[in-house]
């Protein structure tokens, strides 16, 4: 226990950071994800505006404004080709789980964007562990709307960069099984956003395993009331195959006031299998941050998962505290301490408490 407390203290006093492509930046600026990312639903390659202006001039601890530095952040190879990358390396520390002590290559993605026309592009995101997104994107719909065709992550809830959050991990949206092949579309009238997709329903697989399709939809409305920024939205996913019926739905949103940002998502999930009665699950993820100064945030997280809300089958919770700092316009370091708590039951085998520390190094371009 003393060792765990020491680890926690060292992590909390360290200067740390989180990756970009996380919802709290969208909340702070009151903008859609496509302000900073080529993918209008968020994540992946950053836009030239984000990489060369927003991050170096307004967001990182070390400010870059001179032309020599900014030119180094330019990923434009030719007039129609630009590249980018995300590399995340994680170090785990745990006093009672020695197999989790060590380094883990969390992400290694290379991005290539071919812009054949101001409205049309081809996007490639090649990651490790066979994680891949590749799609054609066209801004051909009203209200700056788009259509994309190919392999992509369906727009559901918040696309948290931290895929260990329960709403990513427990719902199956963590890599490599987070992408599917199909067609998606988005409309952005005023302060609203509506995104839908029809896919194979075989996430993580290159081939469809039946003749049925999955449908995913996400809608959100942003608003400002004085100095308070807020957003409320909802998501729905339906996937019926030959062997299972997978359904999930739930609200998500944020509150933003001064240096405080709260981002949350709650989901109902039910998976029915042949010969087995499905259970109604509840999955919740929340993140609360306080901006200590430019590029440095105090971050707290809360996750909860009840695998069967109708039965006393156990539950698990995770509490996190740490510091996020975007040190340079290309480097972030995040330090977190997590406490895992378990309520034992028929579906939750553990009933103890664990303290774990982690440090994440994130290089991006």
* Model pLDDT for residues 176-227, shown as the tens digit of each residue: 778 899 999 999 999 999 999 999 987 766 666 677 899 999 999 999 999 9
The fold for domain 2-364 equals Porin (2.40.160)
Quote the pLDDT of residue 4.
40
For the stretch 75-113, pLDDT in tens is: 999 999 999 999 999 998 887 665 568 898 888 999 999
The DSSP code for 165 is: S
Q: Decide if pLDDT at 10 tops 50.
A: no
pTM of the model as a whole? 0.85
102: left (phi over 0), alpha (psi -120 to 50) or beta: left
The tokens for 339 are 């406490």
Where would I find the H helices in the chain? 2-13, 23-29, 48-49, 67-72, 166-169
Quote the pLDDT of residue 89.
94
Quote the pLDDT of residue 9.
36
Closest CA to 345 of 271, 284, 279: 279
Q: How many CB atoms lie within 10 A of CB 174?
A: 16
């Amino acid at each position: 226990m003393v060792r765990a407390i020491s680890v926690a203290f060292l992590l909390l006093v360290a200067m740390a950071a989180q990756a970009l492509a996380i919802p709290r930046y969208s909340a702070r600026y009151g903008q859609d994800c496509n302000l900073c990312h080529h993918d209008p639903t968020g994540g992946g390659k950053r836009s030239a505006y984000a990489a060369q202006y927003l991050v170096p001039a307004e967001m990182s601890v070390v400010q870059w404004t001179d032309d020599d530095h900014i030119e180094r952040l330019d990923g434009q190879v030719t007039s129609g080709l630009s590249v980018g990358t995300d590399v995340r390396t994680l170090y785990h520390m745990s006093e009672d789980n020695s197999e989790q002590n060590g380094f883990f290559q969390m992400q290694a993605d290379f991005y290539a964007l071919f812009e054949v026309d101001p409205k049309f592009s081809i996007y490639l995101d090649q990651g490790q562990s066979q994680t891949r997104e590749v799609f054609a994107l066209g801004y051909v719909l009203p209200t700056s709307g788009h259509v994309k065709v190919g392999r992509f992550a369906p727009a559901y809830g918040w696309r948290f960069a931290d895929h260990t959050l329960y709403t990513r991990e427990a719902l199956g949206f963590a890599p490599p099984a987070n992408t599917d092949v199909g067609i998606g579309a988005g409309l952005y009238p005023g302060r609203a956003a509506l995104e839908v997709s029809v896919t194979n329903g075989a996430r993580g697989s290159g081939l469809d395993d039946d003749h049925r399709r999955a449908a995913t939809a996400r809608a959100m409305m942003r608003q400002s009331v004085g100095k308070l920024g807020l957003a409320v939205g909802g998501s729905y996913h339906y996937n019926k195959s030959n062997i299972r019926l997978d359904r999930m739905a739930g609200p998500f949103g944020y509150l933003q006031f001064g240096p405080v940002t709260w981002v949350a998502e709650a989901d109902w999930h039910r998976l029915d299998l042949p010969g087995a009665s499905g259970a109604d699950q509840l999955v919740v993820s929340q993140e609360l941050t306080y901006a200590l100064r430019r590029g440095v945030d105090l971050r707290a997280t809360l996750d909860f998962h009840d695998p069967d809300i109708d039965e006393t089958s156990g539950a698990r919770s995770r509490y996190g505290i740490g510091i996020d700092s975007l040190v340079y316009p290309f480097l972030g370091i995040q330090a977190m301490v997590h406490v895992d708590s378990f309520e034992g039951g028929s579906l939750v085998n553990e009933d103890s408490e664990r303290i774990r520390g982690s440090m994440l190094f994130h290089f991006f371009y």
